[in-house]
Amino acid sequence: MSTHLVVEELSFRYENTEKILHDVHFTLEKGTFVGIIGPNGSGKSTLLHLLSGILPLQEGRILLSGKDLRQCSRLEWAQRVAIVFQEIPLQVNLPCLEVVTMGRFPHLRKWRREKREDEKAVEWAMEVTQTSLFAERDFSELSGGEKQRVMIARALAQQPELLLLDEPTSHLDILHQLEVMRILQALREQGITILGVFHDVNTVAQFCEQVLFLRRGTVLGFGPVERVMTGERLTELLEVEFLESTHPLSLRPFFMPLEVRKKPPRGVQVHLICGGGRGIPYMRKLLEEGFTLSVGIVNQLDSDEEFATRLKLPVVREAPFSPFGEGALQRAREIARGAHFVLVIPTYWGWGNLLNLELARILLQEGKKVLLFRESLNPEFDYTGGEAMRRLRELEEQGVGVIDELDDFFSMVPGALH
Amino acid sequence: MLLGLTVCGAFLSMWFATGVGEGRYRLQDSLSLFSSTSLSSTEYTILFKIRLPRVVLSFLVGGGLAVCGAALQGIFQNPLVDPYVLGVSSGAALGAVIAILSGVYLGLLTVPLFAFLFATLTSFLVLRLSVVGKKIPLEVLLLAGIAVGFFLSAFISLGMFIAGENLHQVVFWTMGGFWGRGWLEVKMVLPFLSGGLLVLSLFTRELNTFLLGEKVSRSLGVDVERVKKWLMLAVSLVVASCVSVSGIIGFVGLLVPHILRLFGYQDHRFLLPLSFLSGGVVLLLADTLARTVLHPVELPVGIVTSILGSPFFIYLLRKKKREL
């Protein structure tokens, strides 16, 4: 692989603003597909605009195949670098063929008509983007996805070595997004280096080979997607918590924003006794309301356990598919020591998790406020032949609070929510 | 093909317009343009010294205004821009008023010369005022044009107020018309027009790329600001020269390119020549109408174009609104 694009010590500022780009440098090899990710205002578009030559270079160097941007005329650079923008032009009533032919502008001399090689380049560009079908149709009649494909064809008609994309899929629905991304991926095989800004992290994870993180105008990370793109680094970059997993079909990394919008912590600790995945909505709601949580006892591989682990909550675990033991009970007492409230979430009761009711009893005796949902008293949930029900009623007699829904709990907390 | 048809149309209407008029000079007489032997000397004078130059001039002015309108609409990507957006009309009017009232006499072309001078100065002033950084934003240009226009209009009104017996001359001038114009005026317009057309024809591809937005245009290697500067320079000289010989004639520059666009001619390589030819034909026919419809009284052609143009403009506005 040969070095294709070299960016060195690139800095840029608009008039009367702070630096938008700060000492950006990276090197791309020929035929790579690189995605740029960064929060708004991180300088992504500015970087692309500098590379495309539509913004004047201030500090730093840009070399493409060894040729310096500063030593190229506008037209020379446009013969080698093309850019596709997010915006799709509105008032164009020309046939698509004419629109794509505009991409030949940097190759044409004044007064001269297009030559055979220009026509060939246009034909190729329209073939690759699958737009040949509507060559004669009016640009304004096309759908958004088709228009963007024509705009890509227009860029390709420039026969660029480097194709830049500034959020080209933002205005497109999911089907057309994928269509555009597939076209771009196919272009790599033609030896065209592609550098694109995409607002969707999974688009990058799925389609790009390399990723470049940009934050406040500096490169925060650059390298192969599999190595550089992790949930942790994305969280650091975008200030949104991401859960990393694997795309079930492509086996590439896949990220889910957790979107836990939290109220400021209210300094109230709640211990959750749950299991079987029933605790997940309660955890989410309580975290959103700013409570501090601990969870247990739960078996490993239980959905509640997995969810709590992902959220990095303190969890007391028992081995998979095993009845809870004395050790776990002690650890649970320990972890719940600072809790102001203990919530027993409605779940199924079997001999394996019966010890959780014992835990509730102990905590009640220790003077904690223990709350039970009325739903829990439903005998249908009892798979112990009445033992769980007996213990639940016992708890009720000993002074455990019984509530109908979580809102009831919120209204008893000091500094009530509603 | 279509260009050819329009060229034929242009010649046909010139021939028609030359033929129409006072007296016994009927259509077939203008055929004598090609064999002048059969004419008496009076007939010869009327055809060649009076009617033909007027026909040619109205064609050139109409074409010039329309092509400039098309170019400006292309530069600003706005179909509601007309050639007077640069404030040329009020500048020219002020120049004319000053020439008429001051009684300066520098030959037959005194009034047009003053008008041209002031028109050019005004458009440069407006352009200068609207430069922000290195760019010329449309809103700023429009506002600068309007502000300068109002300022100059005040002086025009003042001029009219103190004009006394010259008032009708001033008023006539601002209405726009071609009476009494001859080959001298044609000679005055021609160099600016041909120079301007040459410059415009150099930049048709660039104007096409503007359709895709300025960013795209820049990324294709177009030096956008330089192109705009040249185009505006050419446009202001052409419009100034047109206005200086004809007075203020509205709507040709706005209407003609817009109709062509409605018919689907967006490619400036066709739009500009088509605008020139059809703008010429439209103004030529309007002028023919103006001098024959109320015969023997002659209407200022500016009145004819405005009466026909304003309803169309309103229609455009309504249509535009519906699209929004």
Give the per-residue pLDDT at B35. 56
Give the per-residue pLDDT at B315. 80
Residues of B in contact with A52 (CB under 8 A): 219
Residue in chain A closest to B213 (alpha carbons) equals A89
Task: Report the distance separating Cα B180 and Cα A336, nearest Å.
Answer: 105
Beta-carbon contacts of A3 under 8 Å, excluding residues fewer than 6 positions away, are A27, A28, A29, A30
B positions 156-215 inside 8 Å of A (CB): 202, 205-206, 208-209, 211-213, 215
Count the Cβ atoms, other than its own, within 10 Å of residue B269. 15
Please give the single-letter amino acid code of residue B10.
Answer: A
Task: Report the distance separating Cα A232 and Cα A214, nearest Å.
Answer: 15
pLDDT tens digits, one per residue of B203-250: 999 999 999 988 999 999 999 888 988 898 899 889 888 888 888 887
Count the Cβ atoms, other than its own, within 10 Å of residue A102. 23
pLDDT tens digits, one per residue of B8-53: 777 777 767 666 655 445 555 555 555 556 667 777 777 777 778 8
For the segment B66-86, the average pLDDT, to the nearest whole number, is 87
Task: Report the distance separating Cα A392 and Cα A309, nearest Å.
Answer: 28
Residue pair A209/A224 in contact (Cβ under 8 Å)? The answer is yes
Task: Report the distance separating Cα B30 and Cα B200, nearest Å.
Answer: 33
For the segment B167-188, the average pLDDT, to the nearest whole number, is 82
Task: Report the distance separating Cα B229 and Cα B242, nearest Å.
Answer: 20
Residue B324, pLDDT above cutoff 50: no
Residues of A in contact with B212 (CB under 8 A): 89, 92, 99, 102, 151, 154
Please give the single-letter amino acid code of residue B54.
Answer: R
**Tokens coding B33:** 């343009």
Give the per-residue pLDDT at B261. 83
Give the per-residue pLDDT at B1. 64
Q: Is the peptide bond before B296 cis (omega within 30 degrees of 0)?
A: yes
Give the per-residue pLDDT at A82. 95
Q: Is the peptide bond before A297 cis (omega within 30 degrees of 0)?
A: yes
Strand partners, A166: A197
Residue A51 half-sphere exposure toward CB, CA atoms < 13 A = 34
Residue pair B176/B248 in contact (Cβ under 8 Å)? The answer is yes
Whats the size of chain A, residue-wise? 418
Judged by phi (left if over 0) then psi (alpha if -120 to 50, else beta), residue A394 lies in: alpha
Give the per-residue pLDDT at B21. 58
Q: How far is A138 from chain B (nearest CA, A)?
A: 10
Residues of A in contact with B265 (CB under 8 A): none
Give the per-residue pLDDT at A26. 93
ipTM, two decimals, is 0.81
SS3 for A37?
Answer: strand
Residue pair B302/B175 in contact (Cβ under 8 Å)? The answer is yes
Torsion B104-B108-B110-B115 (CA) sign = positive
pLDDT tens digits, one per residue of B83-138: 887 788 888 888 888 888 887 777 777 888 888 888 889 988 988 888 887 777 87
User: Global pTM?
Assistant: 0.77
Residues of A in contact with B219 (CB under 8 A): 52-54, 78, 81-83
Give the per-residue pLDDT at B318. 77
Alpha helix segments (H runs only) across chain B: 2-19, 41-45, 52-76, 88-102, 110-129, 138-161, 167-175, 183-202, 204-210, 214-219, 224-246, 252-262, 268-292, 301-323
SS3 for A18?
Answer: coil
**Tokens coding A297:** 């006892």
Residue A8 half-sphere exposure toward CB, CA atoms < 13 A = 10
When scoring B132, B206, B216 by the number of chain A Cβ atoms within 10 A, the one with the most, hence best to mutate, is B216
Instruction: Give, rounded to a whole angstrom, the gap between the first and last alpha carbons of chain A.
Output: 63
At A207, which helix (H) or strand (E)? helix A201-207
What residue ranges of chain A have pLDDT lower than 70? 1, 259-262, 414-418
Q: Which of B214, B309, B249 is nearest to B84 (CA)?
A: B249
Residues of A in contact with B225 (CB under 8 A): none
Beta-carbon contacts of A230 under 8 Å, excluding residues fewer than 6 positions away, are A244, A253
Residue B283, pLDDT above cutoff 60: yes
Residue pair A372/A272 in contact (Cβ under 8 Å)? The answer is no
Task: Report the distance separating Cα A105 and Cα B32, nearest Å.
Answer: 48
Alpha helix segments (H runs only) across A336-417: 355-365, 387-397, 406-412
Give the per-residue pLDDT at A76. 93
**Beta strand pairing status for A242-246 and A253-257?**
antiparallel
Does B264 touch chain A if contact means CB atoms closer than 8 Å? yes
**Tokens coding B265:** 């001619």
Asked if A92 and B212 come within 8 Å (Cβ–Cβ), the reply is: yes
- What is the rounded radius of gyration, in angstroms, for the C-alpha atoms of chain B? 20
Residue in chain A closest to B269 (alpha carbons) equals A111
For residue A412, give Cα distances in angstroms to A37, A343, A369, A406, B309.
Answer: 45, 13, 11, 10, 75
Q: How far is CA B300 from the centre of its chain?
A: 15
Give the per-residue pLDDT at B323. 52
More confident residue, A17 or B287: B287
The string of DSSP letters for A361-377 reads: HHHHHTT-EEEEEGGGG
